[in-house]
Structure 1
Amino acid sequence: MHQEKIEAIKSAIAAASAATEEELEAYRMKFISKKSMVGELFAAMKDIPNDQKRAYGQLVNEVKDLAEEKFKSLIETVNQSKKQSKSKDLDLTLPAVLTPAGGIHPLTATRQRIIEIFERIGFNLSEGPEIEDDWHNFTALNFPENHPAREMQDTFFLEKNPDIALRTHTSSVQVRVMENQKPPIRTLSPGRVYRNEAISARAHCIFHQVEGLYVDENVGFADLKNTLYHFAKEMFGKETKVRFRPSFFPFTEPSAEIDISCLICGGKGCNVCKGTGWVEIGGSGMVDPNVLENCGIDSKKYTGFAFGMGIERIAMLKYQIRDLRLFTENDVRFLRQFGPLL
C-alpha cells in the first residue's frame, strides 16, 4: 500500500505546474511543507516494521528530493514568466525619467565662500562643541557674573546643570584654540549657535556664526579694519561701503560694530536695514587683555583682534532675501533658486 501511495505522489509531482506565485505557494504547501503529502509519508515511518524502515526511508527521501527539485524548476519558470511580462510592458519610445539633482543650500554656499576668503589670507579653521560649559562660553571671555547674557532670556541652559548651556557664540571655540595653541594664532570658527530669542524676519533662536581671531605681536586696530574691508569687498563687491560704529563687548576693548551699505535697497531704506541704508553684519574689536590672560597668553607681549558675523545675515544681503525664516522652512520653491531642481 505504501509503495502505491509513493508512486502516486511521484506522478503528481511530475505533473505539477505553476505559472504564478500563488500556484507556486500551493505546490509548496501540497508537496514540501510539514503537512504536505511528503510530510505524511515521513509521519507514517513510526508504523513501518523495523526490518522495513531502512528501505521505506530511502523511498521517502527520493520523493522528498524529487519534490524539492521540481520546486526549484517551478521557481525559475515563474521568475522567467515575470521578466517576460515586464519586458512586454516596457515602452522604449517613452522619454527617460531624469533623477532630480540636489543643490547646495544658500547658507552652506555662503559659509563656504566666507571660509574661502579668509583662508586666502592665512586663517585656518577650528571647531568646537555646541554644548559648552560656563568657562568657555562666558567666564573666560570676560563676562561678569551679573552680565545680562547669562540670564535665561538670552541663553538655553540645561535644566539639570546650570553651568552647561547651548553655546551662544563660537567665541567659545576661540577660547579652546588659545588654551591649546601658542601665538601666532589666526583662526576662523564657523558653526551653529543658540539664543533664546523670538523668531522673526530678522532673528531666530538657532542660527550660524563665523568668528575670526588673530593673536600675535604688534597686532593693531588697523589690522582689524583692513581685514574686514578686504572681506566686505570680496564678499559683496568693490562698491560696497563699510563703516565701524563704537560698541561694547565684554571680550574686546575697544569694540566696534560693522555695517555695510544695504545691498537690498541700495541705501534707500527697507525692512532689512530699518530704513537707514546700512546693515549690521557683525561685531569686532581688540581682544581684551583679560581674555588673553585667562587663556594663558601673555597680554604684555601679544595683542589680537576678533570679529564675529551671522552667516544668515550675510546670505540675506548677498542673495537679497528679506525674511530670515526662509532658510529653515525647507520650501523647495525657495531652494530651487540657488541651484539644480531638488
Structure 2
Amino acid sequence: MLVLAIESSCDETGVALYDTERGLLGHEVFSQIKIHADYGGVVPELASRDHVRKTIPLIRSLMQSHQVESKDIAAIAYTAGPGLVGALMVGACIAKSLAFAWGIPAIEVHHMEGHLLAPMLEEQQPEFPFVALLVSGGHTQLVEVQGIGEYQILGESIDDAAGEAFDKTAKLLGLDYPGGPMLAKLATKGEPGKYVFPRPMTDRPGLDFSFSGLKTAAANAIRAEGIHLAGGQSSQDDLPENAEQIKADIAHAFQQAVVDTIVIKCRRAVQQTGIKTLVIAGGVSANTELREKLEVLMKKQGGQVFYPRPEFCTDNGAMIAVAGAQRLHQGTTELKVKAKPRWSIEELPAL
C-alpha cells in the first residue's frame, strides 16, 4: 500500500511516498532557512505562509517524478503535532482536503514518533526493545521503547532543549542562522581545555536534562572576553585580535559540555533499563561528536547504537511516512482537522 506523507511542523516542508512493501520511494524537502535567517530564528507566521506556498507544488513534483497518480495512494499521513500550531494546521488542512477528494483515509502522526522511527528507513534497523534519545531544537528526551506506541519517557529537558541551547549560544557568538550546525563546525577549530563549562544535572540521580544554565555559562564567557555580538553590544572593531579563536574555543567547550551531558544520561538510561540498543534521532543526532561518543559508549556497554542518515535527522516527510504506514488502520475519513501543538508521545496507542 502506498502512503503519501506531509511534514509541516516547523520550518521545513517535507513530503514523501512510502510503499509498505518496497519501502521509501522518494521524498522532497524545502527548507525555510533563507526566509528566517534575517530574524535569527523561526517566525511562525512566515513559516505557515511558506508551507501554504510550497506543500502542493512539492506533492505534485514528487508524484510526477515517480509516476504516481492519486488512485495509487492508499492513505495520507500528516504531522498532527507537536509543533507550531499554524504550521501544523497547514499540513493538516491539505492532508484532509486531499484525502476527502481522493476518497482515502488521513492518518495523524506524532512528530517525535516520526523521528523515533526514522532509523527504520535504513538497511540496518534496530529491533525492539530499545532506548531512544530524541534530541532536536524543541525536544531532548530519553524514551524506553518496547514496541510501536509502547513508550515511556525516562527523562526530558526541564528548560531549553539541546538544539535550542546550541542555537541560542551560536547567536551570542554572532554565527549565522541556523546556529547549531554553525557552532558545531566552529567547534572543530577550538582548542580543548581553554574553557570548561558545567555538565548540568549530572551530579545528581535521574535522567532529566537542563541546558539553560550551560547556555548562561557560555554567555558569561562570551561577555567576559568582549566578543558578544548579539544585540549590537559589540562591533567588529571592538573585538580582540584573536576573537575568532576565542569563539572557536568557547564553541568547542560548549559542544563538549552538551555532548558529555547527553552521553552520561544515555549511559544511565541503558544501565537502568538493561537494554543494550540505543537509537538517536532528531536534528542534533547529526552532530558528529555526539555520534562518535555514543558509539564508544555503547561499545563499552556491549550494545549498539542506531541512527538515521543526516538527511533524515532534520524534519522530513520520509519519517512521517514510515510512522504513518505503521498506523494505517488508524486512518480516518472524517473532515475534522486536528492539530496538537502539545502532545506527549506517551499518549499514543500501542499497536
TM range (shorter): under 0.3
Superposition TM-score, scaled by structure 1 size: 0.23
Greater Cα radius of gyration, structure 1 or 2 = 1
Compute the TM-score of the two structures, normalised by the length of structure 2. Answer: 0.22
Higher relative contact order (Cα pairs below 8 Å, separated by 6+ residues) = 2
